[in-house]
Amino acid sequence: MLLAISGAVAAAGAAFAGIVNSAHDFSSGGTGGPWGTPDTDRICVFCHTPHQAQPVQAPLWNRQDTTSTFKTYGSPTLDASVGQPTGNSRLCLSCHDGSVAVDAYVAGGPAIPHMMAIGDVYYPGSPYGEGGPNIGGNYSGNASVNDLRNDHPVSFIYDDGLAAADGDLRAPSSLPPNLPLFQGRLECATCHDAHNVETVGGTRLLRISNQGSVLCLTCHLK
């Protein structure tokens, strides 16, 4: 039991160390860019809470859900069945679709969120540019757009059957352990590490460098 507790504490410490001064550190004095806040020095609160967490989300999820319905990726060569984002991809989109304020907590936050939604920074004509972490094109003045058709599909079953049907995909059993599937599905967290622990430096929180398209070629036979 002591070893299990020690392991859990060590894992939590590693995650905390990864978040500090990462792109997801929105605390006062943090490095979360234009989404940072002077209101709290807490780091984990933007996604997690020890009490009064969302009962159906893990782990101890503290964000309001996105209510967006998304236009999803499609292609004549796509053999996967892609529906609405689910699992941890939908958790990512509770920030990254641009519709929910960064401080829209379930517990421990302001009664009325007053921080920006990520989409309110990156929009056409923005001084920050258009290529930021707004996925879906949802921003002030464009709130009805939730378009994932130009983004890599997520929340689809990636199994040997899909690989065989496609012919240009590697079998999922060949994926390295640091590119995990979640209940057999490819999700945002398959390629990205939100806690910045396994992230390759100089990338957008990628678990594997994509220099020379290495990340792409881990799954795709092209």
In this prediction, residue 209 carries a pLDDT of 95
Flag residues of the chain having pLDDT under 50.
1-16
Question: Residue 131's pLDDT is what?
Answer: 67
Q: What is the pTM of this model?
A: 0.86
d(CA 31, CA 44): 14
Query: Residue 14's pLDDT is what?
Result: 45
117-149 pLDDT per residue, tens: 887 777 777 777 776 778 888 887 787 789 999
CB of 20 closer than 8 Å to CB of 43: yes
Q: Cα 171 to the chain's mean position, in Å?
A: 24
- Nearest Cα residue to 11 out of 221, 198, 219, 205: 198
Cα(48)–Cα(63) distance, integer angstroms: 7
pLDDT in tens, 9-32: 344 444 445 899 998 999 998 998
- How far apart are the C-alpha atoms of 201 and 213, rounded to whole Å? 16
User: Any alpha helices (H) in the chain, and if so which ranges?
Assistant: 2-19, 87-96, 160-166, 188-191, 214-219
Residue 197's CB is within 10 A of a number of other CB atoms, namely 15
